Amino acid sequence: MSGERTQTGRKRPRRRGRFLPYILLSPLVLFIGALALYPTIVTTVQAFFTVDPVNPPTRFAGLANFRALIHNPFVRQSAVNTALYIVVGVGLSTLFGLVIALVLQRRSRWRGVVLALVVLPWALPGVVEAVIWGWIYDATFGVLNSVLKSTGLIGSYHVWIGIGRVVSIVLIELVQVWQVTPLAALLILAALQSIPQEIYEAARVDGAGSWEKFRRITLPLVRPGLAVAMVESLILSLNVFDQVYVLNGFAPGGASIMLQTYQISFNNLNFGQGYALSLLATFATMLLSLLILAVVYRRVEF
């Protein structure tokens, strides 16, 4: 029998194998859940304890770790630096991603090659990208100095990272923008390709130009892709570590929240404050992501 019959004579669908997909996926879901939940639970609990391997045992500290972080000038400076990383990273990666997505949307025989080249930086590890850009920024034989000097924009080679705070942050974040922009471009491109061409054709018949179609059709309808791309850029910019560590080391002028968390936890061996700072960074990521979604995201129906 392929199934039970109802009172109307129709056969009910066979229930055999109904739960098979869930059974097959359950080990992976449990593994990913444990991988994500366990560190979160440990971080949340240990943030309220004094965890110092040099000075055991572990003692309950309440909000002492958080108060110490607020009064730590290096933590405050790294928070301001991270805010600058976020502004530069989210702004530039979203802008460049939108431009690249608009270019890739046009049909071309070289579209596949361009797409492969665009995705390449996203596939590279952050440390490798930081090393590559370290050669570009090098004060002795760097490409940046060579190009600027050959064009007459500078008279001599300069040290770019570690001298000026804002310049260092912008140059370091450009490395991550180079990495994040391909992901932003793909997300925005997916949103662009979901827009029916009939809408553009109707606007063209009504006499709308390229700018009007972009402003009144493309931007409003691509907002879901823009929102997701901005959230991805926000998460990566707020948690920037590899690029800062390789290019700037522990210099306070360009230190990020994640670098400060590493320094407090492993250099100072104050794991309680390190847990507390990472917990604050997690909450900041959640709040800022929800803010971007509330401001930018709009549900689109065709």
**pLDDT tens column, 113-161:** 777 788 888 888 888 888 899 899 988 888 888 888 888 888 888 888 8
Would you give the DSSP letter of residue 297?
-
Q: What percent of the chain has pLDDT over 90?
A: 38
Q: Average of pLDDT values for 62-91?
A: 93
**pLDDT tens column, 177-215:** 999 999 999 999 999 988 888 888 888 888 888 888 888
Q: Are 99 and 219 in contact (CB under 8 A)?
A: no
d(CA 176, CA 88): 10
- For the chain, counts of helices (H) and of strands (E): 14, 2
Question: Buried (b) or exposed (e) across 100-130, using 16+ Cβ within 10 A?
Answer: bbbebeeeeeeeeeebeebeebbeeebeebb
Class at the top of the CATH hierarchy for domain 72-296: mainly alpha
pLDDT value at 267 more than 90: no
